[in-house]
Amino acid sequence: MMKGAKPNVLEAIGGTPIVKLNHVTKDIDSEVYVKLEYMNPGGSTKDRIGAYMLDQAVKEGKLKPGGTIIEGTSGNTGVGLAMWAAIHGYKCIFVLADKQSKEKIDNLRAFGAKVVVCPTNVEPEDPRSYYSVSKRLADTIPNSFYVNQYDNLHNRNTHYNWTAPEMFEQTQGDFDVFMAGVGTGGTITGCGKFFKEKMPNVEIVGIDCVGSIIAHYHKTGEICEAHSYVLEGVGEDFIPENYDFSVIDDFEIVGDKESFLMTRKLLKYEGIYAGGSAGAAICGAIKYAQKQKTPKKILVLLHDSGNRYASKIYNDDWMSDNGYLDASFNVQIADVLQELEKNNSVETIKDNATIGEAISLMDGKGFTQIPVLNNAGDIVGLVSEKHLVKPVLMGEFQRDDNISLAFSNKYKVVDKNELLENVAEALLKKEVALITENGKLVDILTEIDVLHYFSKKDRI
């Protein structure tokens, strides 16, 4: 055995760092520290519960050699279980809700697991729900073990015996508040119980999402109606057995959009590449901090890695198509141009030019599109690289043909004093806005410019 090496990947789970947030928290007096659980080998804190629950199942004789591990999982627990199964030689079947990201599903299949995808918007008791399907599979497949992270108390025991003592040792208990997103309740309950035993004054605060029933139940003891939401991993539409509300002092409730925008900010300003529930947790921590009379040291557990959300939260098209990029288009185009420090000058070409001249101009200056003006300086068209180069290569146009043959109609003319909302739809359809002042062209605005504007304005 090589010195310093771990005997297998399961031994590499845990020991994740705690780091201070320095930028996204600049408007609050409290300090926020984050436990980077995405640094576990499978990319989430669920590596811990996967290994722990299965070790216990073997000890208790519930999982026997050659058996099949079955679980309803939002993806992360599946990876943790699959890693353990790979090392110990077991088969896995995972049941997922169809709102889970494609990366999570592909990941589990890559581990050799069978993946069954079920509809998200059905009641837990519905035979199509992923809870019902998991249970049915476990009842019908011989020598199978249904892990059931919701009601298997070794989920919260994992965090009581492992994650929380690790954080306590790292910090020597030097924090006032512990916060974590809640799903099965394992993290908040296991950590909460351990910290309450060691630190009588600690506050334990869960982060739930709009649409979930957990925080409402904690406050009122009543089960309310659940509504759909897009965040993955946080919130539930029933109360799993892992909850012990006596160790949870309070909840903060956050929405999809603010959570996704904060997830992006964590990466942009703190270099922390985490999943959506991490953004939710930090929104919750900031809301909590804003209500405090004295500054607190807040420790927040971030559950999983951002690379499971590359096609969603970290994809501009997905964010904008779903309305998560702040659609505050209620701003004058002139202000947008000023914020972008555009220099009010735009390269144009005359309507008597040839296609060859337009291509040379674009080539020389690196433009992808050029507005075409007549002798009076009025806009008569737009030529774009896409509409010019291919037809020339295919022999449809000659280089000395007149430019008007290659006009593109993918533009909208708008005065700089109009609101951005008047061109927002066109820009999102990848058209360009030709900006005029007193009828004369002064600038061009593209979808990328608008994204730059919003990111400068701190909206992403």
Ligand X SMILES: Cc1ncc(COP(=O)(O)O)c(C=O)c1O
Q: Summarize as ranges the residues that interact with ligand X (CB under 6 A).
A: 46, 74, 76, 181-188, 232-234, 275, 277, 303-304
- Cβ nearer to ligand X, comparing 195 with 329: 195
| Pairing assessment for the beta strands 297-302 and 177-181 based on DSSP bridges | parallel
Question: What is the closest distance, in whole angstroms, from the C-beta atom of residue 276 to ligand X in the complex?
Answer: 7
Distance CA 328, CA 351 (A): 37
d(CA 282, CA 267) in angstroms, rounded, equals 12
Q: Which tokens is 178 given?
A: 């512990």
CB of 188 to ligand X, least distance (A): 6
Least Å distance between CB 46 and ligand X?
Answer: 6
Helix residue ranges, H only, 120-185: 130-140, 154-158, 164-171
Amino acid identity, residue 369? Q
Least separation in angstroms between residue 183's CB and ligand X is 3
If residue 69 lies in a helix (H) or strand (E), which one and from where to where? Answer: strand 68-72
For residue 41, which of 65, 71, 67, 15 has the smallest C-alpha distance? Answer: 15
Residue 135 annotated in active site: no
Nearest residue (CB) to ligand X, 79 versus 372? 79
State the nearest-atom distance from the C-beta of 74 to ligand X, in Å. 5
Token reading at 8: 């297998």
| Among 389, 354, 352, residue whose Cα is nearest residue 369 | 389
Which residue, 97 or 337, is less far from ligand X as judged by CB?
Answer: 97
**Residue 46 vs 196, nearer CB to ligand X:** 46
Burial call 349-380: b when 16+ CB within 10 Å, e when fewer = bebebbbbebbebbeeeebebbbbbeeeeebe
Which residue number is nearest to ligand X in terms of Cβ? 233
User: Least distance in Å: CB of 209 to ligand X?
Assistant: 10
Positive or negative, the CA dihedral 450, 453, 455, 457 is negative
Between 177 and 336, CB nearer to ligand X: 177
Task: State the DSSP string of 400-423.
Answer: TSBGGGG-B--EEEEETTSBTHHH
Nearest to 167 by CA among 80, 45, 83: 45
Residue of 3, 6, 26, 46 marked active site? 46
**Cβ distance to ligand X smaller for residue 312 or 416:** 312
Torsion 164-167-171-177 (CA) sign: negative
What residues act catalytically?
46
